[in-house]
Amino acid sequence: MTALIAAHFVLAAFARPLVRRLGARAFLVLALPPAATTCWALTRWDTAASGAATGWTWRWLPAYDVSVALRLDALAELMVLLAAGVGTLVLLYCASYFSDTTPRLAGFAGNLLAFAGAMLALVLSDDLITLYVFWELTTVFSYLLIGYDSEQRHSRRSALQALTVTTLGGLAMLIGFLIVGHQAGTYRISAILADPPPAGTAVQIAVLLILCGALSKSAVWPFSLWLPNAMAAPTPVSAYLHAAAMVKAGVYLIARLAPAFADVPGWRPVVMVLGAATMLLAGWRALRLHDLKIVLAYGTVSQLGFLTVLAGAGNRDAALAAAVMILAHALFKAPLFLVTGIVDHAAGTRDLRRLSGVGRSLPQVCAVAVLAGLSMAALPPLLGFAAKESAFEALLHGDTADRWTLGVTVAGSALTVAYTARFLWGGFLRKPGVPDTPVHRVGPAFLAAPAVLALCGLVLGPGVGWTDRLLSAYADTFPAPAHPYHLALWHGWGTALLLSAAATAGGALLFAARGRVTRLSRRVAWPTADAVFGHLLLGLERLSLQVTGFVQRGSLSVYLATTLLVMLAGQLSALITDQPWRGAPAPRLWDVPLQGAVAALTCAAALLCLTVRRRMKAVVLAGLTGYGTALLFVVQGGPDLALTQFCVETVSMIVFVLVLRRMPVHFEESVSSWRRAVRVPVALAAAATLGVVVWVAAAARTALPAGAAMVEETAHHGLKDVVATILVDLRSWDTMGESAVLAAAAIGVTSLLYLHRRAEGPAVPAGERGPTAWSMTTEPLTGVPQGDEGAPERGWLAAGATLAPEHRSVVFEVIARLLFHPILVLSVYLLFCAENMPGGGFVGGLVAGLALITRYLAGGRFELAEAAPLQPGLFTGLGLFLSTGVALLGLRDGTVLHAWTYHGHLPVFGDFEFGTPVIFDCGVYLLVLGVVLDIVRALGAKIDRQIERAAAEKAAARRAAGPETGEAAP
């Protein structure tokens, strides 16, 4: 099972080279994994039909009882055959549907095959968390496939609709899964079905949340607005995702969980009422539409409502009917979509008002469409007839609610007959007053896939009994009735047959009166999906604007005051209510008097910030508070934290200085005395409250510190640096997440300065270098006189010649040249010594960034380009790749430290260890270096270019205005 699932994703990754080499014929190769899966599933038919199951398990997160568990039973066997079998035929169909010159074909092919793999894993999942993961993967791939033609606004909007609706439903479903797993004590689906949790309030809420996800995925009202617009996708996507695969995922989930939760209060009313309403509303809407694909789309929504009713009814015969209807629906709806694609391909239109006489021009295509259409209309001897008979029989012998639902399903079946007849009439028959539509012939390979599916529906009609053993194996998971129903084409004369005849006659009458029905349907029509989605987005936008206008007043001081006051009120309320100081020992002011002295100086620096008027002085004072905090770490005995704090403060102050170049020297905001009288007490009260809270919380501690266990665990592995070990091993996933957030934030902020492109380009050659922002002049620099080749001047920096002489510092250039490489060596030393001494990837990356900052400050942006010719994104991406890869590797046993370690010996250095924690730390090192370099390029080099451009424009304006103002030309 795992190999087959992995084969889908692996081959999908190679879709681009395959399409580049083979063109549209690459779909023939891509069809191999689902074809192999179909063959494998057929070999497991007897095992599944006997009620046995084939399973595979890998303990993913043992501490949380989460496993990657796969299980093939009767229901999964049916779904695998549909997902893989129909997927194979759709991929073969794509080889004829697309041409070699179709744009973005490689991405489409890879996404379609990856979706097939995700759907296969979904129906095989025997763990709720695993099921959710693949559930969301199908959502993502569906979004990409629907938005295939991304240049069209309608495609993008339709893809967003599908993603929004199904993702929101999926999030609600995840909460339901977590509740059910907690109540049952396991996330294993087979174990939950064998021993369901008691139907308490929590389980009832969880069931409703799970139904939200299932109903949104299967487009059941009120979540049905996304499916018709999803027809913006190419026809193969509509045939596979929206007829045979993805939209069945919700019905599959209902069918899977019904044996355990059908009796939970709230299940049956939601499933029966919404399913029946969907069947009627969508079927009625299909009677007035003109696009053949949209007619089929609303027909699909109607049939999904029918399937939801049967799958959620909660009895054995209805479950059997649901299973055979799932099979029948795939075998008639998929070929109808594929035939629609052939008609559109051959005639150039899908508008049934413009199509006429296509059946005479394409008789084979018409025959396949009629065969599939008759099955959809449930006429004998097709499989659709046997499926509908079983559904009527199951609802007929159910309880009162089932019999009420039976009347709705009969009416819905009549609507199905009507829109089926309208589809066949509109797509293939001649219409009075409409000339025959010119079409071109289609090859047999193009028609093969829908023909195979339609013939399966014809063969399995009389042969439906062949599937009875498999489908009954699933149905028998429900309590057995006195006289269980068995599948057959003919059960004799009875009420079910009479109801079928009534539905067929009613549908024929609706089609005969199609003109009046269409006018009536338009009068009582509800808003379209586009209108509903548009109004929802517009209402949300207006609400957001109102809320934003109310809370965002444009005053930073108001925002800070609001935040501080909320924090102040919350903390004081907690202190007054809990009174944590009762019974706690008196808190100590300090461990050593030096701590108090450093704290007093730090507070003095913070208070002095209130009195300064110059921005640079405020930055320096704010930086002193950070250095004071680092000194407290030194006094307390935390060299790791102190080293990190010193580096962070240094980089932060440099960044502030770079930003202040484009800002006024003095603070321009004039603060009145009464505002200052309000701000100062709020700030001091918030600071005092926060300090008291930390103080009291530390004194009121009752539990044992976690540090002792950390120290013991670290010492057990022969390590000394507890902090570094925690970051790269014990809590490496947290570190990886924080690193990703840091990278995203830095890239997002710096990208605001790069409106067009992020690349600064390499340093210019020495002969072409001009002035920089350091020179503040547009005059060309003079160097060594021409012809003076006897005494060439050697610069200490690679781009030192680009600086104006009055802004050069020989001492700074020499120091920068001498210190650059030692600082880099120090950063590497800090990286590799972290196991037993202060250091680590984060500190090492900051130190390496400081080396590059020193080069920039000494030589300008050209010097920075010489020192770091590679783009920052390369370092950031490589760092994320390394840290993420090592963290994923560590899932093998829950840690990174034990994933892999190499013990070696070097002649000079002695014994050493090199393992995955070091590789993880290397990823952090590269990521931090990339972030620092990106910030320096954005706030340093980019702003330099802006200053140069402004100076050049100003000089050009002066020269242009010189003659008019009487200035003498130089």
Quick: pLDDT tens for 64-78.
667 788 888 888 899
596-604: average pLDDT: 88
pLDDT of 466 higher than 70: yes
Amino acid at 360: R
> Per-residue pLDDT for 735 more than 70?
yes
The number of C-alpha atoms within 13 Å of 837 and in the hemisphere containing its C-beta is: 6
Task: Compute the distance between CA of residue 168 and CA of residue 533 in angstroms, rounded to an integer.
Answer: 14
Q: What would the two tokens of residue 739 be?
A: 């690193």
Q: Are 719 and 835 within 8 A, CB to CB?
A: yes
Q: Would you say 488 and 386 are in contact if contact means Cβ atoms under 8 Å apart? A: yes
Q: Is the pLDDT of residue 968 over 50?
A: no
List, for residues 925-951, the tens digit of each pLDDT value.
898 888 888 888 888 777 777 777 777
pLDDT in tens, 785-799: 343 334 344 556 766
- Residue-wise DSSP of 891-951: GGTT-STTT-EEEEEETTTEEEEEEHHHHHHHHHHHHHHHHHHHHHIIIIIHHHHHHHHHH
Select from 228, 238, 206, 412 the least CA-distant residue to 308: 412
Q: Per-residue pLDDT for 781 more than 60?
A: no
Report the percentage of the chain scoring pLDDT > 70.
87
Q: Is the pLDDT of residue 651 over 50?
A: yes
> What residues form DSSP beta bridges with 910?
906
The pLDDT of 824-843, averaged and rounded, is 82
Give the whole-angstrom CA distance, residue 282 versus residue 415. 9
For residue 585, say if its preceding peptide bond is cis, omega within 30 degrees of 0.
no
pLDDT category of residue 913 using cuts at 50, 70 and 90: low
- Tracing tokens 């008639």 back to the chain, one arrives at 332
596: helix, coil or strand?
Answer: helix
User: Averaged over 684-692, what is the pLDDT?
Assistant: 83
Determine the residue type at 18: L
Give the whole-angstrom CA distance, residue 505 versus residue 511. Answer: 10
Using pLDDT thresholds of 50, 70 and 90, give the confidence band for residue 753. Answer: low
What count of other Cβ atoms lies within 10 Å of the Cβ of residue 150? 12
Task: State the pLDDT at residue 528.
Answer: 64
In degrees and rounded to multiples of 5, residue 531 shows phi and psi of -65, -45
C-alpha span between 570 and 99 (Å, rounded): 65
Query: Of 16-25, 198-207, 341-350, 961-970, which range is least confident?
Result: 961-970
Which is higher by pLDDT, 494 or 765?
494
Classify 187 as helix, strand or coil.
coil
User: Tens of pLDDT along 537-556?
Assistant: 788 888 888 888 877 777 77
Is 50 exceeded by the pLDDT of residue 969?
Answer: no
Q: Which of 8-12, 283-287, 865-869, 911-915 has the highest mean pLDDT?
A: 8-12
Average of pLDDT values for 832-852?
Answer: 83
Q: Which of 517, 121, 63, 84 is nearest to 285 (CA)?
A: 517
Structure-model confidence comparison of residues 90 and 493, the more confident one: 90
Which tokens in the block code for residue 922? 């290397």
Least confident of 309-318, 552-561, 655-664, 696-705: 696-705
Maximum Cα interatomic distance, the chain, rounded to a whole number of Å: 114
Predicted confidence (pLDDT) per residue in 127-171, tens digit: 888 899 899 898 888 888 888 877 777 778 888 888 888 888 889
pLDDT class of 892 with cuts at 50, 70, 90: low
> pLDDT tens digits for 427-442?
888 878 777 788 888 8
**Is residue 706 helix, strand or coil?**
coil
pLDDT in tens, 571-595: 888 878 877 766 666 667 777 888 8
Q: Does pLDDT of 758 surpass 60? A: no
pLDDT band for 861, please (50, 70, 90 cuts): confident
Query: Does residue 760 contact residue 865 with C-beta atoms inside 8 Å?
Result: yes
Decide: helix, strand or coil at residue 381: coil
Query: For residue range 443-462, what is the model confidence (pLDDT) as tens digits?
Result: 888 888 889 989 988 988 88
Q: Which residues of 81-93 are buried (b: 16+ CB within 10 A; e: fewer)?
A: bbbbbbbbbbbbb
Q: How far apart are the C-alpha atoms of 291 and 349, rounded to whole Å?
A: 9
| Per-residue pLDDT at 268 exceeds 70 | yes
* pLDDT class of 398 with cuts at 50, 70, 90: low
Mean pLDDT of 325-332: 89
Answer whether 396's CB lies under 8 Å from 496's CB: yes
- Of 453-457, 873-877, 916-920, the one with minimum mean pLDDT is 916-920
What phi and psi values does residue 72 have, to the nearest 5 degrees?
-110, 110
- Whether the pLDDT of residue 229 is over 80: the answer is no
Residue 255 or residue 490, greater confidence = 255
- Mean pLDDT for the chain? 80
Q: How confident is the model at residue 782, as a pLDDT?
A: 38
Annotate 278-346 with three-state secondary structure: HHHHHHHHHHHCCEHHHHHHHHHHHHHHHHHHHHHCCCHHHHHHHHHHHHHHHHHHHHHHHHHHHHHHH
Q: What is the pLDDT of residue 36?
A: 92
Interval 822-833 mean pLDDT = 86
The answer on pLDDT for 896 being more than 50 is no
Q: Is the pLDDT of residue 172 over 70?
A: yes
CA distance 953 to 947: 10
Amino acid at 52: A
Two tokens, residue 705: 């510190």
pLDDT recorded at residue 163: 85
